[in-house]
A and B are shown apart, each in its own frame.
Chain A
Amino acid sequence: MAPRTLYDKIWDDHVVHQAEDGTCLLYIDRHLVHEVTSPQAFEGLRMTGRKVRAPEKTIAVPDHNVPTTLDRANAATMTEDSRIQVAALDKNAKDFGINYYPVSDVRQGIVHIVGPEQGWTLPGMTVVCGDSHTATHGAFGALAHGIGTSEVEHVLATQTLIQRKGKNMKVEITGSLRPGVTAKDITLSVIGATGTAGGTGYVIEYCGQAIRELSMEGRMTVCNMAIEGGARAGLIAPDEKTFAYCMGRPHAPKGAKWEAALAYWKTLYTDEGAHFDKVVTIRGEDIAPVVTWGTSPEDVLPITDVVPAPESFSGGKVDAAKRSLDYMGLQPGQKLTDIAIDTVFIGSCTNGRIEDLRAAAAILKGKKIKVKRAMVVPGSGLVRAQAEEEGLAQIFIDAGFEWRLAGCSMCLAMNPDQLSPGERCAATSNRNFEGRQGRGGRTHLMSPAMAAAAAITGHLTDVRELMGEMV
């Protein structure tokens, strides 16, 4: 057999049927569901009298709409339409007999944090969800991507998707990262280099020493934003760190099944000489802590840089950059570190895991915030509990942060956590689109450590300058 990539191998193992024109029916091992993109799909099943084919492989959790304030058990904290959407998921989970973590469950959280945490996500699986950040699960060497609601209905009814195979793209990060540089800086730097459409039509495999050196949390951050680079899915070959993370999780295999799984998982790597249609290589040592300045995730620059002039771009990007700077209220030539911040948001499926909270807390310890408001929204109830046990919660609270309950929160502002017009936010989330965090809100994306640094200085800050005091 010709050498295959990791993507080729997972794909081949999930083809149920292949038509003459190459269109495949692909089997789906895990289907994650949240309240925003699923109601119409369940309604479709009801209207056609169809059932969920594999309820035991279907996992639902409300995350987008749920309030993150401590009083959220009180239904009045939710708007009527949000309440209806969450209630619809409660009912659909019950009626169709699927696995469910309701708002009241300590395991509730952002679907992409709950899946791995509970051991639903495992190497070599196909994982889908009506959510573009499903790419997160690729960190385990799973083929994971977002789908629309019609496809949610299709997977519910058939446990398969109609797909054509994408192309293979390799993103290699060589060497090691420098101090103060994190997984978020890798993933943003890659998008900065390739553009938001650079990965369109591809599945990205991230590899290289700097990727191998990342924890599972860091790998999830990298894969999470594959979609911001246009790739539906990002993948990282599983290794000992992956296996150690999975072992003992509630839904991971045990005993003889674990041993069988492990033997299979160890075959999940790209063969020597396998073909990639596109290759991007970045030196880990060249990556700096970065921030975004515009309204597209490709608008990335090292924190030491200045706001670019629209004329420095070409084609349609010139007008897009003008529009971005106008929206963001920035001037070309302005130093990024001179940009004052009103609000800090730490959380989301990109950076709402325990390691992210540790990184932010390390910068914040013993300091006070100089921004108007700052909040930490843990990615799940279990992340929140662990952070409290480790004393991180107290560090955040002492610094002046609000310590919230789990949910998507201000990443997309479907719940009450929103920016006001003109309010400028240092955010650890994944999208800086116009209006994303609230109409007129201005978002700068960065790592948790960089967001923490901005919180204590009141402006965008090179976290490395603060780290000098720590070591």
Chain B
Amino acid sequence: MEKFTTLTGIAAPMPLVNIDTDMIIPKQFLKTIQRSGLGKNLFDEMRYTPDGQEIPDFVLNQPAYRKAQIIVAGDNFGCGSSREHAPWALLDFGIRCVISTSFADIFYNNCFKNGILPVVLPPEAVAHLMDDAKKGENARITVDLEDQTVTASDGKTFAFEIDAFKKHCLLNGLDDIGLTLEKASAIDAYEARTATLRPWA
């Protein structure tokens, strides 16, 4: 997994609330058996007409946002299904950070497995960053994971909270499975204990 330390980039404003994982990557693209290549279908039904033409109004089709690395989104981003194809599609497009007032749990968790930083900020802060994002490509937003801050193009800085373990893994690009396997003896001991306590399980 790629590390996330700091990022300065263009932020795309998506003020819609409840952007669900069916919007982020519709089901017809879940038939892949790979993780890569989904970026071209990110937000597919909002981004293209049924015959595949770009919809010019859609934010990521606008010249200023075609190279966006950050999304500033409405409440409850990523609700719906557990499909990790949603963060895979975001990452493949080039998005490394999503900022919102709230995220759905499973999506939030999935981001960390893929080097994407989801940032939760209060409504006033998200509103400020949304306005900043609407200024287009000249308004670069900076996200610093080590310091846990987001800085708008006007220099205004907002601090965010993040779980210490998740932060550590993301800063260092660590593989969860490797870390867990270091505790294999604890898993062995648990299994031995429950084999007697709950032999049916």
Stretch at the interface among A67-75, A154-162, A207-215, A366-374: A154-162
Cα A379 to Cα B45 in complex, Å, equals 29
Stretch at the interface among A13-21, A383-391, A392-400: A13-21
By a CB distance below 8 angstroms, the chain A residues around B45 are 434-435, 439
Q: How far is the CA of A464 from the CA of B50 in the complex (A)?
A: 40
Chain B 35-78 against A: per-residue CB contact (8 Å), 1 yes, 0 no?
10000000001000010000000000000000000000011100
Q: Are A150 and B31 within 8 A (Cβ)?
A: no
* Shortest Cβ gap from A356 to chain B (Å): 21
| A130: chain B residues within 8 A (beta carbon) | 82, 84
Q: Please, which residues of chain B bring their CB within 8 A of the CB of A39?
A: 33
Partner of A200 from the list B23, B26, B104, B110 (CB cut-off 8 Å) is: B104
Q: Say whether A150 contacts B114, CB under 8 Å.
A: yes
Contacts of A200 in B (CB 8 A): 76, 102-105
Contact of A196 among B76, B82, B163, B183 (CB under 8 A): B76
B-side contacts of A282, CB under 8 Å: none
Q: Do B177 and A154 touch (CB < 8 A)? A: yes
Q: Once the chains are docked, how many angstroms separate the CA of A157 from the CA of B184?
A: 11
- For B194, the closest partner residue in chain A by CB is A27
Q: Known A146-B82, A323-B16; judge A23-B187 contact (CB<8 A).
A: no
Q: Which residue of B lies closest to A45 (CB)?
A: B177
Interface size on B, residues (CB 8 A): 56
Interface of A is mostly: loop
The answer to whether A37 has its CB under 8 Å from any CB of chain B is yes
Which A residue's beta carbon lies closest to that of B107? Answer: A148
In chain B, what residue has the closest Cβ to A321?
Answer: B17
- Checking B30, B110, B176 against A162 with a beta-carbon cut-off of 8 angstroms, the contacting residue is B176
Which residues on A sit within 8 Å (CB–CB) of B96? none
Instruction: State in angstroms the CA–CA spacing of A261 and B198 once bound together.
Output: 7
Q: Which residues of B contact A150 (CB under 8 A)?
A: 84, 110, 113-114, 176
The residue that B75 contacts in the complex, of A29, A84, A164, A197, with Cβ under 8 A, is A197
Q: Is the CB of A40 within 8 A of B82?
A: no
The verdict on A362 contacting chain B, using a C-beta distance below 8 Å, is no
Contact in complex: B32, A81 (CB < 8 Å): yes
CB-CB under 8 A from B94, the residues of chain A are: none
Stretch from A1-9, A97-105, A312-320, A445-453 contacting the other chain: A312-320
**A132 interface residue, CB < 8 Å from B?**
yes
Contact B17 A158 (CB under 8 A): no
Residues from chain A with Cβ under 8 Å of B180 in the complex = 25, 154, 157-158, 160, 162
**How near does chain B come to A224, taking the closest CB pair, in angstroms?**
13
Contact yes or no, A197 B82, CB < 8 A:
no
| Contact across chains for B79 and A196 when beta carbons are under 8 A apart | yes
Q: Report B-chain residues with C-beta under 8 Å of the C-beta of A323.
A: 16
Q: Are B105 and A232 in contact, CB atoms less than 8 angstroms apart?
A: yes
B28 and A149 within 8 A (CB): no
- Using known A-B contacts A146-B82, A257-B200, A435-B22, determine if residue A27 contacts B32 with beta carbons closer than 8 Å: no
Contacts of B181 in A (CB 8 A): 157-158
Contact A82 B31 (CB under 8 A): yes
A82 to B32, CA, bound (A): 9
CB distance from B133 to the nearest CB of A (A): 15
| Complex: A196 Cα to B104 Cα, angstroms | 9
Give the CA-CA distance A130 to B86 in the complex, in Å.
Answer: 13
Instruction: Determine the chain B residues whose CB is within 8 A of the CB of A461 once the complex forms.
Output: none
A131 at the binding interface (Cβ < 8 Å): yes
A336 in the interface, Cβ–Cβ < 8 Å? no
Query: B201 contacts which of A48, A122, A315 (Cβ < 8 Å)?
Result: A122
State whether the Cβ of B155 lies closer than 8 Å to any Cβ in chain A.
Answer: no
Contact code string A208-231 (vs B, CB < 8 Å = 1, else 0): 000000000000000000010010
Chain A residues with CB below 8 A from B30, complex form:
36-37, 64, 414
A64 to B30, CA, bound (A): 10
Residues of A within 8 A of B33 (CB): 39-40, 43, 84-85, 88
**Which residue of chain B has the shortest Cβ distance to A150 in the bound complex?**
B113
CB distance from A79 to the nearest CB of B (A): 8
Q: Which listed residue, A48, A122, A230, touches B200 by the CB 8 Å rule?
A: A122
Q: Which 6 A-B pairs have the closest CB atoms?
A: A150-B113, A253-B200, A148-B110, A146-B82, A148-B84, A316-B17
Residue contacts A-B, CB under 8 angstroms, 8 given: A16-B186, A16-B187, A17-B186, A27-B191, A151-B113, A158-B184, A197-B104, A434-B22
Chain B residues in contact with chain A, CB under 8 A?
15-18, 20, 22-23, 26-28, 30-35, 45, 50, 74-76, 79-84, 87, 102-106, 109-110, 113-114, 163-165, 176-177, 179-181, 183-184, 186-187, 190-191, 194, 198-201
